[in-house]
């Protein structure tokens, strides 16, 4: 696979997904991703995006300022 931004080579890895959710910061660590060897940009498969949406939906309304989640601990 090639990076959409710089056309570099993508490698399977993990990365951190960060989101500002209604003024609260959500950090999901160890997310399976494709990371560009050249520019470092991360991309996610459709299934990973769906799982991230589920994680965010579960957290909506329950966090105060910052929530740090481990991706592998949240999938079931």
pLDDT for the residue 75: 60
Could you please report the per-residue DSSP string of 19-76? EEETTEEEEEEEEEEEEETTT--EE--HHHHHHHHHHHHHHTTT-SSEEEEEHHHH--
Whether the predicted model's global pTM rises above the 0.85 cut:
no
pLDDT 10s digits, 20-71: 988 889 999 999 999 999 999 999 999 999 999 999 988 887 877 888 889 9
- DSSP, collapsed to helix, strand or coil, labels residue 12 as strand
């Amino acid at each position: 696979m090639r990076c959409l931004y710089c056309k570099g080579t993508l490698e399977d890895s993990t990365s951190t997904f960060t989101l500002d959710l209604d003024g609260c910061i959500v950090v999901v660590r160890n997310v399976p991703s494709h990371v560009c060897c050249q520019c470092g940009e991360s991309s996610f498969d459709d299934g990973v995006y769906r799982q991230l949406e589920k994680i965010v939906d579960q957290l909506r309304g329950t966090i105060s300022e910052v929530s740090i989640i481990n991706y592998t601990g949240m999938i079931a």
